[in-house]
Structure formats: structure tokens, C-alpha cells
Amino acid sequence: MPETNYYWYKLAEHVNELDFAGNNIATAVVNGKKICIAKYNNGLYGFAYKCPHAGGIMADGYINPAGYVVCPVHRYKFDIQTGRNVSGEGYYMKYWPVRITEDGIFIGMK
């Protein structure tokens, strides 16, 4: 996703300030919107709090070894880098770019 035309919201000064659960997913409220932040392969990824299929809480799911977030309700899988449904059901999950800079951790939203 090209990172132009975004407003960058500060999530934290440092990754240690984000409250990651044992599944490496944290939640945050950004501009009034509840979202998920995943920690995977030394990167951070922002995506929707609810599954686009049946509204399952994605923070209650997990990140599998391929880097897909798995919904806890029906086990639908979504690529955390593109939002693409990779288990074949045709859904699309909203996702946002995350930047880590010397000034902190930021998420880009339009």
C-alpha cells in the first residue's frame, strides 16, 4: 500500500508501550476507531478489530506462521500486510500501514 495521503496517528513512543497479548496482537483506539496491531517478524501491522465475515473479534484470533491473522469464529485467514482473504472466501479485511521511527510508532489512516 503506498504510504501517501495518510494522516499518521501516533500509537506509542516505543513498542513496549503497546499491550500485546500472548498471541502478539494488541488493540488500540485511533481517531475513535478500535483496531488491532500485530507483531510479526520484527514488524508491526494494523488491521480491523472485527472480521469482515461475521464480526469475530480479530484480537482474539492468532497470527499463524505464514503471517496471516486467523479469525477465532470461523478460522478465516487474512494477510496482515494486504488485508486479502487467503482461505478462499473472498472477503477483504481493512488494514493500515505502520511506521516505526525515532519519534515513535505511527499508523496511517485516510
pLDDT digits (tens, 9 = 90+) for 72-107: 999 999 999 999 999 998 999 999 999 999 999 999
Q: Is the pLDDT of residue 1 over 70?
A: no
23 lies in some domain: yes
Distance separating alpha carbons of residues 24 and 19, to the nearest angstrom: 9
Closest CA to 82 of 99, 100, 96: 96
CATH label of the domain that carries residue 96:
2.102.10.10
**Which domain range does residue 56 map to?**
7-109
Q: What is the DSSP string of 3-44?
A: --S-EEEEEESSGGGS---TTSEEEEEETTEEEEEEEETTEE
Residue type, 64: N
Q: Is the pLDDT of residue 39 over 90?
A: yes
Q: Is the pLDDT of residue 23 over 80?
A: yes
Whole-model pTM? 0.93
